[in-house]
Amino acid sequence: MSEWSSKNIYNSFNSSKGLLYAQWFKAVAEKKFLPPVEASIDMVQHCNLSCDFCNAGRYLKDDARYIKYMDSEHIVKLLQFLKEWGVRAVCWGGGGESTLHKKLPDAIRLTKHLGMNSAISTNGTVLNADLLDALIRNRFIGVSVDAGSRQIYEKDKGKDLFDKVINNMSTLVKEIKDKKSTCEISYKFLITDTNQYDIYNACMIAKEVGVRDFYVRPASYNHQGIKDKNRRVYKYDFEAVSEQFNQCRELETEEFRVFTVVHKFDSNFVPDKNFSQCYAAPICIQICPDGNVYFCPDTRDMEYYKLGSHYPDPKEILNFWGGEKHMELTFESGKSPCISRCTFGPYNRQAQELFIKDGDPFCWEFV
């Protein structure tokens, strides 16, 4: 199944870009962990939606005891430390809706001022003048819509905000053009058994709105945290999904790209973990609003995978990055208890085959 057109091979969703991290993989193999390429920062452990397939569904609760916001002054110290340490970019979001934090615009602007790149994953429901100014400074904005109609959106997310999200994306697209920003917006769609017939509708809307990319992939029960424990396997209509993929591909133009990403899954859309250990996890640091650092984005808020604390002093990260527990999770026990879809699966395989195993399958010293 084609995931992207031949003219769009070099894209952010192509896991072959893991080869660009050879320097980091080689250092891991030598047990000398470098500063991570990216910092994934969750400023908020809270969300204004109730998505049936949220990747943070296991710990996001509408209860004051579980809601967490990162201290505003600490965010400044954290970003300054990350820059000094050598981190290249910051991605906001994932474990909550970052736009709910009033200091997100300032954090994005500071990130750029310090010389790091910035990106965000958001549900797109919140937009004001300050956010608009800051958001278009990002390298990209991934908007998790996961529907092509109001009915499906409200059913899966618990609120009737579909039209608002589409209007917010339209506003962002216009602002990007007016300000000649290089920011790219992606309309993101996780396929489940409830929205699987809405893919083409969503793609048509994405093109009409004027976003750069339409990104669609299967959801995973374990990773996404489905609330209904009886739905342990999605009931996909593979023929209908494939047909819609082809229809979406026909909508592509020079200005509008379609990515139907399935390479991290087997033919039944079950996550494929074809690697032995979590060798690539140290290319990213997962920083959460509970004050802790976790092994990777898929293991946030899990005690077993907690590496240490970044609050109140971010420099404490240096005391456990590449430390005993980090090494043990990377080389021995990280994969075995993990039941989630692996964000870094292909990267783990690349690191394993090219740097952990003996030999040189690429004969890299020869052009």
Window from 2-11, 54-63, 251-260 with minimum mean pLDDT:
54-63
CA distances from 348 to 15, 251, 286, 304, 363 (A): 11, 33, 17, 20, 20
Statement: residue 229 has pLDDT above 90: no
Rounded mean pLDDT, 328-345: 92
Statement: residue 305 has pLDDT above 80: yes
Statement: residue 99 has pLDDT above 90: yes
pLDDT of residue 277: 97
Rounded mean pLDDT, 237-258: 97
Which residues share a beta bridge with 294?
A: 286, 306
Statement: residue 55 has pLDDT above 90: no
How does strand 68-69 pair with strand 44-45? antiparallel
pLDDT of residue 230: 56
Query: What pLDDT digit, counting tens, does each position of 184-203 carry?
Result: 999 999 999 899 999 999 99
Statement: residue 1 has pLDDT above 80: no
Distant-in-sequence, close-in-space partners of 235: CB < 8 Å, separation ≥ 6: 193
- Please give the model's pTM, rounded to 2 decimal places: 0.95
Residue 314 confidence class, pLDDT cut points 50, 70, 90:
very high
Statement: residue 252 has pLDDT above 90: yes
Statement: residue 207 has pLDDT above 90: yes
CA distances from 150 to 157, 165, 344, 367 (A): 10, 10, 33, 53
pLDDT of residue 257: 98
pLDDT of residue 64: 79
Statement: residue 290 has pLDDT above 60: yes
Rounded mean pLDDT of the chain? 94
Would you call 2 exposed, middle or buried from its count of C-beta atoms within 10 A (0-12, 13-18, 19+)?
Answer: exposed
The fraction of the chain above a pLDDT of 70, given in percent, is 96
pLDDT of residue 225: 54
Statement: residue 227 has pLDDT above 70: no
Statement: residue 63 has pLDDT above 80: no
